[in-house]
Amino acid sequence: MKRYVAEEGSDVVRRFFIEGTRLATCRVTYAEAAAAIARRWREGVLTETERDRLIKSVAEDLEEMVVLNVTRDLLAPIAKIVRAASVRGFDAVHLAAALRLARPEAGAVHFVCSDTALGQAADRLGMDWVDPTRDAVR
């Protein structure tokens, strides 16, 4: 959401896009982002035009990113994650997808999130965690 709605940490996230950082996400991101944008519209934060433009922007951004599908090979990592950490369902999916990318031959993978519990779970799984509200790799 920090890419689409100005909030703390938006400048850091937007910089990733401007600098051409190789970005990856999970297929469920579209549903999560579109729902969050629609919620902000229902709350009166966004106009209908802004809502529609932002949802379109999410789809366009996904065209430029590595998008991982939710497949059976994520089941075992998801089960491991939910046993080890107190995370929400889709958060476990995002962590499992990031783990799929985090291989020595792939280079550094940074898990970007502002949710402390989720970031700590990523850290416990051996991933570098970037909290855009603090602009630091942990």
Q: What is the CA radius of gyration of the chain?
A: 15
Q: Which of 57, 59, 56, 68 is nearest to 23 (CA)?
A: 68
Looking at residue 21, which CATH number applies to its domain? 3.40.50.1010
Residue 1 resides in a domain = no
- Let me know if residue 79 belongs to a domain: yes
Helix or strand holding residue 128 (H, E): strand 128-131
Position 3 pLDDT exceeds 50: yes
Predicted TM-score of the model (pTM): 0.83
d(CA 90, CA 78): 10
| Nearest of 113, 138, 134 to residue 29 by alpha carbon | 113
Number of domains observed in the structure of the chain: 1
Q: Which of 63, 91, 68, 65 is nearest to 78 (CA)?
A: 91
How high is the pLDDT of residue 107? 65
What pLDDT is attached to residue 105? 62
Average model confidence (pLDDT) across the chain:
89
Residue 74 pLDDT > 70: yes
> For position 124, what pLDDT does the model report?
87
Residue at 3 is within a domain: no
At 30-65, the pLDDT tens digits run: 999 999 999 999 999 999 999 999 999 999 999 999
- Do the domain assignments include residue 110? yes
> What is the pLDDT averaged over residues 80-84?
89
Whether residue 51 lies inside any domain: the answer is yes
Domain extent for 126: 10-137
Q: Is residue 4 one of the residues assigned to a domain?
A: no
Four-CA torsion 36, 40, 43, 44, nearest 10 degrees: -160
